[in-house]
Amino acid sequence: MSAVTVISGAPRANTRREAISAAQQAKLSALQAAAEGLDAKGIVALALKEFPGTATVVSSFGSESAVLLHLIAEIDPATPVLFLNTGKLFGETLRYRDRLQDRLGLGDLRSLAPNPTDRATIDPDGTLWSRNTDACCDLRKVVPLRRALEGFEATITGRKRFQTRDRAAMQKVEFFDGRFRFNPLADWSQADLEAYREAQELPAHPLVEDGYPSIGCMPCTRRVKSGEDYRAGRWAGLAKDECGIHGVDGEGI
């Protein structure tokens, strides 16, 4: 079968060129055309219709997660939801996860954790984050997610163009790492997210009011100061604004 090469999403330092078959390219083009003119809920519905039983959503249950999860639950609350429980999350995030699961009726929430043998070998004292944040993210996020995604043909993410420079050019449907990726909230702003959350009476993450507009693992997240970018509290002081799961897939934890 002939193949062409594409770059999915926005270019980044670690973006690899990926072989995609002619059939996959045709499918991608058809999905991108079908997504044109659809709203976020329509794109979610498109993903679940085109990939019944083989589509999943990756969620951090962070400050913006309720919107995408509500859209999913409105269509099919049994859609598998992959949640990375890194062992380093805020307690508030874990309680928020439980609250949203109950509120939305999410029927297939899968909590992912690092492999115990890997953890004992690579990070036996749990302080890897203080020495090598990339290695810690790989152990606690990238590897578990890669394993969990095996067998899925499509993912639905909460990635938005406004979040980082690298996401600014992403499309609403992409092909990445061997599967189709849907980004129904790609063109939403923070104001759009908040307006939807309030209209649907969805609970806010409890840390938002405490100065955490973007929430990841506790050791690598700080409050954001007045005038700073909303993701300034993530890996502050480091040349890093992604955890690495976009080398696999997912919502930006």
Instruction: Dump the DSSP string for 42-58.
Output: HHHHHHHHHSTTTEEEE
Residue 159 inside a domain? The answer is yes
Residue 149 inside a domain? The answer is yes
Residues of the chain scoring pLDDT < 70: 1-18, 164, 230-231, 233-253
Task: Indicate which CATH number applies to the domain containing 129.
Answer: 3.40.50.620
Residue 101 inside a domain? The answer is yes
Domain span at 232: 3-247
Residue 252 inside a domain? The answer is no
The H-or-E segment that residue 147 falls in is helix 143-148
Distance separating alpha carbons of residues 86 and 84, to the nearest angstrom: 6
Residue 253 inside a domain? The answer is no
For residue 191 the two structure tokens come to 């104001």
The confidence score (pLDDT) of residue 97 equals 97
Residue 209 inside a domain? The answer is yes
Structurally, the chain folds into a number of domains equal to 1
The H-or-E segment that residue 9 falls in is none
Give the catalytic positions in this structure: 243
Residue 165 inside a domain? The answer is yes
pLDDT tens digits along 214-227: 888 988 888 888 77
Residue 181 inside a domain? The answer is yes
The confidence score (pLDDT) of residue 11 equals 32
Percentage of the chain surpassing pLDDT 70? 83
